Amino acid sequence: MNIATPILTPIKLTAAETALVDAFTRQVGELPGDGMVLVARDNALDGIKTEGLPTRRVESWHYTDLRALLRAIPADTNAPFIEQRPGLVSNAFVLPVLNGKPDVKTSIDGVTIGSFRDRLMSDDHAHIEPRGSDDAIGRINTSFVRDGLVIDIADGTTLERPLELQLSQSAGQSHMRFAVSFGAQTKGTVIERHSSLSDDASLVSSVSDVVVGDGADILWIIFQAQGPVDTHLAQMNFKLGANAKLTLYVINTGGKLVRQEVHGVTVGEGSDFQMRGINLLGGDTHTDVTFTLGHDVPNTTSTEIIRNVIFDRARGVFQGQIRVAPDAQKTDARMACNTLLMSDDADFSAKPELEIFADDVQCGHGATVIDINATHLYYLMARGIPENKARGLLINAFVAEIVEELDDEQLVEALEDVISAWLDKHA
């Protein structure tokens, strides 16, 4: 062969990669867990050390060059003390995880709550392995995960009040993991709320593993409003049982560098997955929502609707992949991603993928990138509404539509307030 084969040279680590490797060396003695947990941690860090963080060349990171974007890592020192805040909705049952440390309360009927730290200490085989070699969030989380929550909701339980996982950060780093299991026929709402309570930079990695049991009907809201200098790396992995229904809202209004991944599979027939996304992006930020869904069994349905509004120099990314397995006949999957690009310095990239191996299916996706409709604007302005206000109204309508699908009035109101407040500040 005449073709020159590339010589494998060890990569030169970036400042952020070096900081991660050094932090691991410092922390490894006190990280919870031994046995397979420690092996998983070593392997994950070794991945970062030998391959580095992913670049554009890694297909699943095509639009988020983590290696270039993650420039520095905040120190892993103790963050200033913070207090629990009121819930997003007043009747929520709040489970605070402040600077990565959970306050474990167990006073809800049918719900068992424990700390993930205990699981790491007691179970050699706690599942913390990354999803694969391109799972940078997994690699970081697996290496450093210290705590989080283990929540089990017993079969047949109906949660009367929303459960709020209040994940607040004041500075430094938190690496958390949540194992949540909804038993058969359970019903309820979970609010996963990420916020920052200081101006200092923080790095958060948060991984949730959610199992939705047969016949359960769950609403899960991820509301991320971290600070303008924060890095937020989050991943949700879920499994849907037979006739189970999961409605997932992903709302991003903060963070400097954000990657929210959602990876799901249907494991029982008759299951339904609904996803709604709202990304309000401004400033000089980068927000990536990456979603994969495997329809692995017959007769399952899914719909995803993602709305993005992008101002200033912000960059938005949506990657959505729907896979239909060879035997998953009668799958019905629909995905839509609509974007309002409000500035010429902003940009948006989308990659909505379909990967279909079964023939008796209905699958579709749509993606649009547009400016505000001139006719709509004219209509409002002709009625004496000033241009900036008219624009605000139209943008609001574009995203509020998604929120209004919710049944819970309190929740709708709370989220509408979040949207209005954000738009007042940025539009």
Binding site for other proteins (CB under 8 A): 1-4, 6, 59, 62-63, 326-327, 329, 339, 341-371
Q: Which is nearer to other proteins, 131 or 351 (CB)?
A: 351
Strands 101-102 and 93-98: antiparallel
CB of 2 to other proteins, least distance (A): 6
Report the residue number, 211 or 324, with the smaller CB distance to other proteins: 324
Q: Which is nearer to other proteins, 359 or 407 (CB)?
A: 359
> What is the 3-state composition of the chain as percent helix, strand, coil, each rounded to the nearest 5?
20, 40, 40
Residue 57: left (phi > 0), alpha (psi -120 to 50), or beta? alpha
211 or 333, CB closer to other proteins?
Answer: 333
Backbone phi, psi, residue 64, to 5°: -130, 95
> Smaller CB distance to other proteins: residue 5 or 90?
5
Residue that has been written with the tokens 């050094």 in this structure:
22
Query: Would you say 59 or 424 has its CB closer to other proteins?
Result: 59
User: Minimum distance between the CB of residue 266 and other proteins, rounded to whole angstroms?
Assistant: 17
Q: Which is nearer to other proteins, 360 or 405 (CB)?
A: 360
Q: How far is the CB of 391 from other proteins (least distance, A)?
A: 12
Nearer to other proteins, 86 or 364 (CB): 364
Tokens of 303: 């719909």
Count of CB atoms within 10 A of residue 227's CB?
20
Distance of closest approach, residue 280 Cβ to other proteins, in angstroms? 16
Quick one: which of 279, 222, 221, 290 has its CA closest to 253?
A: 279
Instruction: State whether residue 185 is helix, strand or coil.
Output: coil
By the 8 A CB rule, do 37 and 128 touch? yes
Q: How far is the C-alpha of 129 from the C-alpha of 85, rounded, in Å?
A: 32
Pairing of strands 286-295, 362-370: unpaired
Smallest gap from Cβ 363 to other proteins, in A, equals: 4
Q: How many residues does the chain have?
A: 427
In this structure, what token pair is assigned to residue 23? 């932090």
Query: In terms of Cα–Cα distance, which of 346, 358, 347, 349 is closest to 322?
Result: 358
Q: Rounded to the nearest whole angstrom, what is the least distance from the CB of residue 314 to other proteins in the complex?
A: 12
To other proteins, the closest distance from the beta carbon of 103 in angstroms equals: 43
CB of 423 to other proteins, least distance (A): 17
Distance (Å, whole) CA 287 – CA 282: 10
